[in-house]
Structures are given as structure tokens and as C-alpha cells.
Structure 1
Amino acid sequence: MRSPDTTPPAEETSAGAVTTFDAFARFAHAAPPTPPQPGQAPRSPEERLAYHSQFVTVRTPAIETLSRSVRTLMILGRHQSVTARPSLIVTGPATTGKTTALLEVGRTCHLAHTRRAAPGDDSVPVAYVLVPPGATAKTLAGEFARYLGIPVTTRMTTTQITTAVCHTYAAAGVKLVLIDEIHRLNPRTSSGAEAADWLKDLTERVRATFVYAGIDVTDSAVFTGVRGAQLAGRASLIDCGALPARAGEREPFRELIASLEQALDLHAHRAGSLPKLASYLHERTAGRIGSLSRLIRQAAIEAILDSSERITKTLLDGIALDHLAEEHYRPRNPARRHTRPNGR
């Protein structure tokens, strides 16, 4: 596991907050939170609270795999113009870092384009779209239009919106389209089937690489029926599951904990104490990256607020996590308290 990367914490960025190009560009160019540096003047408690609220993003195996796959597929499909290009689907349980991986890859692509672009180049390399709940062809088309600020009126037909989207995306030079919450698409309903057909049509008309992300996509309605078979036949899967405690000779979860610990800004925390709790933390979080990040960040904030300035097992055990993590942990520990005890 690599050390903390200097990237904004995408998971803490509301996905809905970056669904326009201007907002995505601000996210991509935002100054990243930086861990404490040797010789740096101590930061104030307020600054450290803000830092742990944001925190760093660690490049997980899923981000590494997705980055490499996207780069390869963008080259593979660069001159493919007759049929849809090969695509990717990031799948896995909730809170395992799918949106983080998607946004990090989009950010990397956006910044790489910005560095290469000539002065005055106003092309748009990346589009990020959320599938709306109960998506129809028209509402999905509207989300694509909204990203680039394409005017849409209630009187416009789906065909009219689609024509505007395809023309504008081509003119803007969009090369990578990221579609999040794809599990919301339900081809079993008539409106969902129309939305799935619309999306398939879009992938054939927009010359870009499409990457989808969703919760347990292979078990959802997205892969069912003829439409699901078409998507499955074009897309490679990247499993963004929970991190195992051990993978061969490596201990990826312990490595992740060590990377997060290195980024802490606490005055009295003992280095190496969190990796020693790897088994406990894996049990607490079920190996889910989102749950682990929240637990460590929340513990760091509490350690600053109560002036202890260190994270201990007692402190960690007193923090209530998300329901999924708690349901995983509670049956094995029925006597566990759900509020933090006074003692350390």
C-alpha cells in the first residue's frame, strides 16, 4: 500500500456536488489536504479539526487497477468509431470506495489533460453523471445535459435533448464519461428499459470511454435480460470489495491502516499503535475502506476535542459507525457498548 497521496478525499466530496463541469473542475484543481511535515509549525486545533474532516486519499488497489484499466481502454478505443468502445464497471458493496475510485480517476484524467492542453484550449476531458433514482431516458438525458450546462426545457423531447447532448459532448471533446449509481437503473421496468436503451445508444454516438460504478452491480437488475447481456458483453468488471486482512504474503488492510496513521496530525499519538489493532479494526469495519476512514477520522477529531491527542482502542470502541459496520460487528460482540465510556 502506498503512502497517502496528495489528493482531495473524493469520498468526502458529495458526488452530487460535482455533477456539473465547473464543479468538477473546482474539485479536480482544489488544493489537497497535506499531512504534517517535518519542521512545520504546529497547526491550531481548528486547523487540525478541519484537516481531519477532509483528510487524505490513499491510493488503494482498486484505484490503481481502475487507473491502469481506464488508461488502457482509452488508448484501445481511441480510433474505434463504428461501435461502442469497451467499458468498465466498478462494483462492490456499499462503503468500499467505488465513488472515491471513480472520482480519483476522473481527477487524474482532467489534470493530465490540463497539463498538456495548449493555451486557450477549452475542451472538457471528463464528464461525471449520477443516475437519478427511478431513471427514465429523459431524466438521464437531462443529467448529461446539466453537466455541460446545455439548456433543457420541459417541452423538449428526449430525442431533442439527446441530439443536443451528443453534439455538445463531441464539440467539447469529452473522452471519459463516468456514470455513478448505475445500480439505480432497472431495465425490468418500462421506463428503466428505455433508459438502458438510451444509454446504450449514447455509448455508440459519443466517442468516449464509459466507466460505470454501482453497488453489487452483478446482482442487480442492471445485468438482467437482453439489455443486461449487452452491457455485460461490453464491460469489464473491477471488484471494489472489502479489503482482506491477508492476501498471500501481504496484509493489505494493515498497510492501509499504516498509511492512514502516517497522515494523522495528533500531538501524542504513538506511531505504530493502529496497525497493531488491524484484526480489531478489520472486525469493526468488515474491511470496508469507507468505514475505516470514518472511524479513524472521527477518533482523531475526538482526540483533539478531549485533548488526549491520541487514538486508543478504548476511544475507537466507543465510536458508533455506519449501520452496515455495526451490524457486522454487533452480533459477534453483543455486550459492546454503543457510547464511549468516560475512561481511556
Structure 2
Amino acid sequence: MSTSPPPGLGNLAQSRKEDFKAFADAPRRVQPEALSRTALRALDEKSRTAYDRARRRWHANLGPIRTPQLAALHEDLWDIVDSNQQDGDTAKGAVAVDAFPGLGKTTAVLAFAREFHRREIAEHGAFTAQGHERWPVCRVGLTGNTGMKDLNRAMLEFFGHPGRQTSTAAQLGLQALDCMLRCEVRLLVLDDLHFLKWRETSGIEVSNHLKWIANEFPVTLLKVGVGLAD
């Protein structure tokens, strides 16, 4: 009877590259063995505690369940990402996943990002031709009232860049671009995009900054949020 979860998955921050890698590389969870009442009563206290903990973890982490909606979303995402093979002088297509809160947008996108990460590493290796670590996916989770500088800093936070605390907004943006190029990022996930300051005085600035990212970064921009069509 296996009661051990994948190591460390309960203590991850997927806005950091090492934690995202742990999430992407983790093996599938193994369902605890179904025990009869007689078998449960036969367990000693330590074994029963471990078994109950394994069941709680299993039920808390079910899924994502491949519903027709999830399958259709992933099929569309694969079509868009795989068709974005343009050279660096051409902007790649972007995609937005927009739905009400609590419907599983982030869960669905992370499941896709994990499979994309695994495929790219399997096909191209863990290191680039220049010897840098390959990070096919950069996932950024935004916070309330995020501005342009906050967005740039969040991208650098994913890579653990040492200049993320001291640089100007423009410098942060260029440093983020450098990280994306060196690590050959191909998918940039911006989660909770509705937290950006769209209606503040800096709203136009942020909108233009996203356009700059789409034009200059050699990535497919995957935006996740609520009310993005408004």
C-alpha cells in the first residue's frame, strides 16, 4: 500500500521556476488501496493515520478530470502554440482564457503548461545550445493592482533574477526579455490578468506594455483571467 505523495508538492509556488519544474516533473499520484472495514480496523494507529492522510491528499488533488470542455480547450491551445513557429521578427499569436471565477481556468491552463514543458524538454533537452537551462514555460501569477513594473518584476521573480529588486521598470523589462531569450521560453502564462490596473491612469501604459511583450518576446502569450473581453 503506497501512502507517500510526490515529494514537496504541498509546498510549491508555481511562479518560481524550480517549483514549476517540480510540479511538471512530478509522477502521477497513486490512489490509496481501497480497504475493507475489517482491514481498516486491523491497522495499527500509525498505519491508520498514514492511510487517512493519503486518502485526504488523494481526494484533495483529484483531476484535472478530462471533460469534453477541457479536451476542447487543450486541443485549441495545442493548435495555437504549435502553429506559432514564426521567426523572431514576427509577432506570435496570443490566446486568452476567460471565464467566471472558480471554473478551473488556472487548473486547465497549468495542466496544458505541464504537458508542453514535458514535451519541449523531451524533444530539445534540459539545456540550450548555449548551455543555459531550458525553461519552455514561464508562469506568472499577478496580484491586486499590478502595474507595468510589478509585471516585469514578477517575470524576473520566476527566474530568480538578482536585479529584480533594484532596477527601473524599463530595465526590468529588458532583463525579462534577456531571460526569455537565454532560456528559450516558448509559452508565457499570465494568470489573473484582471488584476492589472486597466482602469487606472496607467491602464494605457500597461496595455501598450503587453503589446510590446507580444511583439518582442519570442513566446506565445497565454492570458488567463475574468472579464478579459470587457
- Flag whether TM exceeds 0.5 (same fold): yes
Aligned partner of 1:74: which letter?
A: V
Counterparts of 2:115 and 2:79 in 1: how far apart (Å)? 14
CA RMSD across the alignment: 2.7
2:179 is equivalent to residue 188 of structure 1: no
Instruction: Say if 2:187 and 2:220, in contact at 8 Å, map to a contact too.
Output: yes
Which residue of structure 2 lines up, in the alignment, with residue 20 of structure 1?
Answer: 16
2:30 is equivalent to residue 34 of structure 1: yes
Which residue of structure 2 lines up, in the alignment, with residue 163 of structure 1?
Answer: 174
Greater gyration radius: 1
Matches within 5 A, 1:240-259: none
Instruction: Say if 1:136 and 1:195, in contact at 8 Å, map to a contact too.
Output: yes
Instruction: Say if 1:32 and 1:56, in contact at 8 Å, map to a contact too.
Output: no
Counterparts of 1:132 and 1:97 in 2: how far apart (Å)? 18
Gaps of 5+ in 2: 1-5, 41-49
Pair 69,80 (structure 1): closer, same or farther in 2 beyond 3 Å: farther
Highest RCO, 1 vs 2 (Cα 8 Å, sep ≥ 6): 2
**What is the percent sequence identity of the aligned residues?**
23
2:67 is equivalent to residue 60 of structure 1: yes
Please point out which of 179, 193, 218 is paired with 2:190: 179
Instruction: Say if 2:156 and 2:164, in contact at 8 Å, map to a contact too.
Output: no
Gaps of 5+ in 1: 1-7, 220-344
Q: What displacement does 1:35 show?
A: 3.1
Matches within 5 A, 1:260-271: none
- For each residue in 1:266-314, what CA deviation from the matched residue of structure 2 results, as whole angstroms up to 9, or x when unmatched? xxxxxxxxxxxxxxxxxxxxxxxxxxxxxxxxxxxxxxxxxxxxxxxxx
Instruction: Say if 1:186 and 1:193, in contact at 8 Å, map to a contact too.
Output: no
The count of residues paired between Structure 1 and Structure 2 equals: 207
2:73 is equivalent to residue 77 of structure 1: no
TM-score w.r.t. length of structure 2: 0.79
Counterparts of 1:50 and 1:153 in 2: how far apart (Å)? 35
Aligned partner of 2:96: which letter?
A: I
Instruction: Say if 2:14 and 2:139, in contact at 8 Å, map to a contact too.
Output: yes
Pair 193,69 (structure 1): closer, same or farther in 2 beyond 3 Å: same
Counterparts of 1:213 and 1:190 in 2: how far apart (Å)? 23
